[in-house]
Amino acid sequence: MTPLFVLAAYLLGSISFAILMSKAFSLPDPRTYGSQNPGATNVLRSGRKAAAALTLLGDAAKGTVAVVAVKSIMPGDATLIAAVAIAVFLGHLFPVFLKFKGGKGVATALGILLALNIWLGVGSLLTWLLVALVSRYSSLSALIASIAAPVYAYYLGMPMQMVQVTVVLSLLLIWRHKGNIQNLIAGKESKIGKKKS
């Protein structure tokens, strides 16, 4: 039973709402412009805010659905909940449907955090929004929010497995943003809402 939950979470995570919404709105494949990342921030560069918003909601929802489902079915199994949370996130990063080349996972991570603990998710989201408002850099906002998430989890008194999940998500997010980190240092990072060239 446990492997089936993990596999189902991975397959759910592999669904790319950036691709689906781009097709629905007759937009170019997000892998062909901007950062070439199939995620909400890059879809926003197309100029279609509705497509970007639906991408954000869809990618976040799959993280929430996976964790809420397993918490409902196996509420006392913290190890399984942690495994499902990581599996759905890895599905987004390395989707089987896109030859294992997926997004950076910010929205999906948010959905996971909200499902693990509402205050953890809200705190991480507010951190992202604050940094984004000041800097206008989505990547910097994601990096700072991901670093803050394990701290929030710890001070919220969450079970150690859940704190460990936030650490894993944080490390994976930082790793997926290594190119953005280089661009930030070089002053070449695109700001939120900048359209494709």
Residue 146 has pLDDT above 60, yes or no: yes
pTM for this model (two decimals): 0.91
Q: How confident is the model at residue 35 (pLDDT cuts 50, 70, 90)?
A: confident
Q: Domain residue spans in the chain? A: 2-186
Q: How far apart are CA 190 and CA 109, in angstroms?
A: 22
- The yes-or-no verdict on residue 39 having pLDDT over 90 is no
Cα–Cα distance, 151 to 148 (Å, whole number): 5
Confidence band, pLDDT 50/70/90 cuts, at residue 1: low
- Mean pLDDT to the nearest integer, 26-55: 87
pLDDT of residue 42: 86
Residue 105 pLDDT grade (very low, low, confident, very high; cuts 50, 70, 90) = very high
Instruction: Specify the residue for token string 């397959």.
Output: 11
At 174, list the tokens.
Answer: 């930082």
Q: Which helix (H) or strand (E) holds 65?
A: helix 49-73
Would you place residue 32 in the very low, low, confident or very high pLDDT band (cuts 50, 70, 90)? confident
Q: What are the tokens at 93?
A: 């990063």
